[in-house]
Structure 1
Amino acid sequence: MRAAKSLVPAAYRDVLAVAGFRRLLACETVSYLGDGLSVVAISWLAIQLAPPGQAALVVGAAVAAFSLPAALGALVLARRLRRADARTLVTANALLRGGALGTAALLYTLGLLSPVGYIALLAVSSLLVAWGSAGTYTLVSRLLPSEHRLGANTLLGTSQTTAIILGPPLAGVLVAATGPAAAVAVDAQSYLVLAAVLRGVRVPATAAEPGAESSGGFRLLARRPELLGLLALTAVFCLLYGPVEVALPLFVVDTLGRSADFLGAYWAVFGVGAVIGGLLAGTLRRVAPWPFTIAVIAGWGAALLPFGFTTSTWVTMAGLAVGGLVYGPFPAFNITLFQSAASPADLPAVLAARGSIMTAAVPVGAALGGPLVTWLGPDGTLLASGAATVTLAVLAALGPVLVLARRPAPQAP
């Protein structure tokens, strides 16, 4: 038993010693695995429902409906939900997502599901995703002191990355054996498990600040320049990442002449690198988060540069593995900065506002990736994305220097 404990870094031992967080991590891991299955199942079910010749249209609409309405929900429902209890937010999202996905699976089994109905149910299922994520990380901030939040965020992020690695292969087996509706139903059940298990998590109560006013997430961010700057930096980073999701598949198929299955190997090495990088970074306690975030952005951009100069699968795959290694810590560090800078009462609204921007940034970048690939080609687009990302990191590092340089010199007395 002691030997097993010695294998776990102290940062994670302290986090896992909190019973409430262990329960939260367990039920969130189940829901993450369910969403890992849906990476394949959502698209495959859309293909089964699509009329002849319209598969691409239906699949694109289904994938968008499974994520983009979260940004709308974060904005439209801010007035009602910004002061809601964190556990209520997570539970409401779990019940809505599980109910909508379960209904889609049931209607398909009964032969009553149409493409329009399917897309509508997916859109409903994603309305509270930003609020559910905000609730999860607000619970982390209430269950753990500030010095342990990075480790907790890292464990949650690592479990999500691991689920993305394991989920698609498991979904392939399940779809082949029973059909796509079964995999969607499993995802629905994973959210119901989350809602049920979360009821047993004891969360310390937080007293409201005297005279505190209820404000929207974006209004709160406007009062905190450091958070607003971090959100802008993260949004541009995600925007510049978006074209990668379009260019990488075409790089594999068109430039390398490989089958589409080979794309899975690229994402697998990225995922393994992200898991390792996230776990290693979670053990660090004396790293300044803002400079570390800039270093991560620069490292990810540099990892994409080899795609513009070589078609060697070993070199480009190694680049993506290194990219995963340096990107792995980014989500946990990013969330930790918000947790440290926002008050507990304001944190759900602030994180939901952040989630709405993050949810929209990657699809917008992916939409720009299509014209970029047509203009520059897949390898040129990956090179341009990497170069622009490195430039972003340089500008973020020089920003404070430029601000100080523009300030007038103090007058002598």
Structure 2
Amino acid sequence: MTEPRMTDNLWRDRNFRLIWTGETVSTLGSAVAGTSLPLVALLVLRASTFEVALLTAVAWVPWLVVGLPAGAWVDRWRKRRVMVTCNAASVVAFAAVPVGYVAGWLTVPYLLCAALVGGFAKVFFSLAYRSYVPVIVTRAQLLEANVKLQGSESAAQVGGPGLAGLLAAVAGPVAGVLADAVSFGISVLCLRYVRAKETLKPRGNRRLRTEIAEGIGFIARDRYLRSLIGAAAVANLALDGYAAIQVVFLVRDLGTGPGAVGVVLAIAEVGGVAGAPLAARLGKRVGAARAFLLCEALAAPAMLLGPFATPGAGLTVFVLSGMGVAAGIVGSNVLVGTFRQTYCPPELFGRITASSAVVNYGTIPLGAFLGGVLGEALGVRETMLIMAGVQLASLVILLKSPLRRDKDFPTAAARPLQSLQPPHQPPPAARSGSSPG
């Protein structure tokens, strides 16, 4: 790959500004849709708790279906082209929802199909995006770039639910899904003007199965990545089992209106805005590995507070819980994401990320499915408490990992690639949740 141009400030780099703008706008749209889709299901289609949770599940199922081959394919392809194609597909998928509503076709299965198509596009986009950031910035700028990208994404997630609530109150919840489609269109335009060039290493006629095995093998022999993946898989199961039913909890259990739901979720996401820069400062002061563990230690207990919220003033408890979870998850994602980008060989990065994501993101539909099933059987509040307990288990995994003894994450320089790739060349991620290890 070509070495990016050095700048005194990333804001002066045109390519970074375009990537930042496109990703921030599309994240804002996705945050709007993340609240609008459940509201459409609840208020327009009168869906059950299980059907609402199923919206989250089907959006993440594609990681289980195409995650592994997608990583190998993305390593072969030009990343910018993949990202443009995926966002264009998302425009079509989410624009189909308001079209279906106007035409009278909108049903729960129709809504699920739109979420599924968007999920497939997200698989390829996410893998290409994570591999492309190191192309447009230097190694020394990666932490700064990730802080800026994650910070602005968190800010977009703050505004998204509030905007979704406003749109639902003024024009109906379907308007939020249309806003998501427009945001993906803006991202496509931004990406088309990025001019950073990447060099693809020729792979000859190697079999796809062999290339997939290289990514899995790298992880299988690495104790740090194995621990991070295991913890993230458990965390994502808990986070998305909780998130899949939180709108139901706010609307049906606490009697919160659509506009107020958006405001509550928006304020809760403020923690994520603070989490990114605070994690970077904390990492410089106490070490990146220790800062990562501290962020995770904040998120897990904070999640326990949410189910104790009550109507009216008691919503403050839900907001404080959400702020703590968002700050911890966003902070840990910044630190572990930078670690992966510097630690993993660039030519294997897509496959390593995909192998991680299949495990980590594969638990998201399971968590959402369990959230829906348990929510119907036991009650929404009780299910949220169960999921908060599962989140604590992910912290226990990290505290038993090699990271508990380290001040900083290890570097790739300390672990030669030759020792990680045997001759026969054999094997994530805040939401909505933890990044793919």
Which category describes the TM-score, using the shorter chain as reference length?
A: 0.7 to 0.9
Aligned counterpart, 2:94: 101
In structure 1, C-alpha distance between the alignment counterparts of 2:55 and 2:363, rounded to whole Å: 18
Tell me if structure 2 keeps the 8 A contact 1:301–1:385. no
2:350 to 340, 343, 348: 348
CA spacing shift, 1:356–1:184, aligned 2, 3 Å: same
The amino acid across from 2:219 in the alignment is: L
Stretch deviating more after TM superposition (81-90 or 362-371):
362-371
Tell me if structure 2 keeps the 8 A contact 1:150–1:282. yes
In structure 2, C-alpha distance between the alignment counterparts of 1:389 and 1:174, rounded to whole Å: 32
Residue 324 (1) aligns with residue 319 (2)? no
Larger radius of gyration: 1
Aligned counterpart, 1:408: none
Shift of 1:339: 1.0
In structure 2, C-alpha distance between the alignment counterparts of 1:113 and 1:251, rounded to whole Å: 24
Residue 364 (1) aligns with residue 359 (2)? no
Tell me if structure 1 keeps the 8 A contact 2:161–2:262. no
SS at match of 2:180: helix
Residue 290 (1) aligns with residue 283 (2)? no
CA spacing shift, 1:89–1:247, aligned 2, 3 Å: closer
Stretch deviating more after TM superposition (384-393 or 33-42):
384-393
SS at match of 1:130: helix
1:121 to 114, 125, 130: 114
In structure 2, C-alpha distance between the alignment counterparts of 1:238 and 1:94, rounded to whole Å: 24
In structure 2, C-alpha distance between the alignment counterparts of 1:60 and 1:371, rounded to whole Å: 9
In structure 2, C-alpha distance between the alignment counterparts of 1:230 and 1:114, rounded to whole Å: 39
In structure 2, C-alpha distance between the alignment counterparts of 1:163 and 1:402, rounded to whole Å: 33
CA spacing shift, 1:283–1:357, aligned 2, 3 Å: same
SS at match of 2:120: coil
CA spacing shift, 1:207–1:43, aligned 2, 3 Å: closer
Tell me if structure 1 keeps the 8 A contact 2:25–2:186. yes
In structure 2, C-alpha distance between the alignment counterparts of 1:81 and 1:401, rounded to whole Å: 30
Aligned counterpart, 1:230: 228
Aligned counterpart, 1:280: 278
2:256 to 247, 260, 269: 260
In structure 2, C-alpha distance between the alignment counterparts of 1:172 and 1:318, rounded to whole Å: 19
The amino acid across from 2:231 in the alignment is: L
Stretch deviating more after TM superposition (346-355 or 272-281):
346-355
TM-score (norm 1): 0.77
Stretch deviating more after TM superposition (155-164 or 133-142):
155-164
In structure 2, C-alpha distance between the alignment counterparts of 1:328 and 1:249, rounded to whole Å: 21
Q: Provide Cα deviations, 1:238-287, integer angstroms capped at 9, x if missing partner.
A: 22334433686687689xx7433576565344311221121222355635
CA spacing shift, 1:374–1:116, aligned 2, 3 Å: closer
Aligned counterpart, 1:208: 201
In structure 2, C-alpha distance between the alignment counterparts of 1:398 and 1:369, rounded to whole Å: 27
SS at match of 2:362: helix
Residue 20 (1) aligns with residue 20 (2)? no
Shift of 1:96: 1.1
SS at match of 2:113: helix
The amino acid across from 1:215 in the alignment is: E
Residue 337 (1) aligns with residue 330 (2)? no
TM-score (norm 2): 0.74
Tell me if structure 1 keeps the 8 A contact 2:10–2:16. yes
Aligned counterpart, 1:6: none
Shift of 1:235: 1.3
CA spacing shift, 1:49–1:62, aligned 2, 3 Å: farther
Tell me if structure 1 keeps the 8 A contact 2:283–2:289. no
Shift of 1:129: 0.6
Stretch deviating more after TM superposition (53-62 or 116-125):
53-62
Shift of 1:315: 6.1
Aligned counterpart, 1:301: 300
CA spacing shift, 1:376–1:291, aligned 2, 3 Å: farther
In structure 1, C-alpha distance between the alignment counterparts of 2:93 and 2:238, rounded to whole Å: 32
SS at match of 1:346: helix
Tell me if structure 1 keeps the 8 A contact 2:224–2:402. no
CA spacing shift, 1:173–1:208, aligned 2, 3 Å: same
Aligned counterpart, 2:77: 84
In structure 2, C-alpha distance between the alignment counterparts of 1:221 and 1:188, rounded to whole Å: 36
SS at match of 1:202: coil
In structure 2, C-alpha distance between the alignment counterparts of 1:343 and 1:282, rounded to whole Å: 23
Aligned counterpart, 1:173: 166
CA spacing shift, 1:212–1:43, aligned 2, 3 Å: same
Structure 1 unaligned residues grouped into runs of 5+: 1-11, 404-413
SS at match of 1:345: helix
RMSD: 3.9
SS at match of 2:269: helix
Shift of 1:75: 3.6
In structure 2, C-alpha distance between the alignment counterparts of 1:263 and 1:85, rounded to whole Å: 40
- The alignment-based identity, stated in percent, is 23
Tell me if structure 2 keeps the 8 A contact 1:70–1:128. no
Q: Provide Cα deviations, 1:116-144, integer angstroms capped at 9, x if missing partner.
A: 34432331222121220121121211111
Tell me if structure 2 keeps the 8 A contact 1:83–1:349. no
SS at match of 1:365: helix
In structure 1, C-alpha distance between the alignment counterparts of 2:377 and 2:142, rounded to whole Å: 44
Tell me if structure 1 keeps the 8 A contact 2:275–2:330. yes
Shift of 1:87: 1.0
CA spacing shift, 1:212–1:218, aligned 2, 3 Å: farther
CA spacing shift, 1:73–1:188, aligned 2, 3 Å: farther
CA spacing shift, 1:295–1:386, aligned 2, 3 Å: farther
The amino acid across from 1:144 in the alignment is: V
CA spacing shift, 1:296–1:132, aligned 2, 3 Å: same
Shift of 1:361: 2.3
In structure 2, C-alpha distance between the alignment counterparts of 1:276 and 1:235, rounded to whole Å: 24
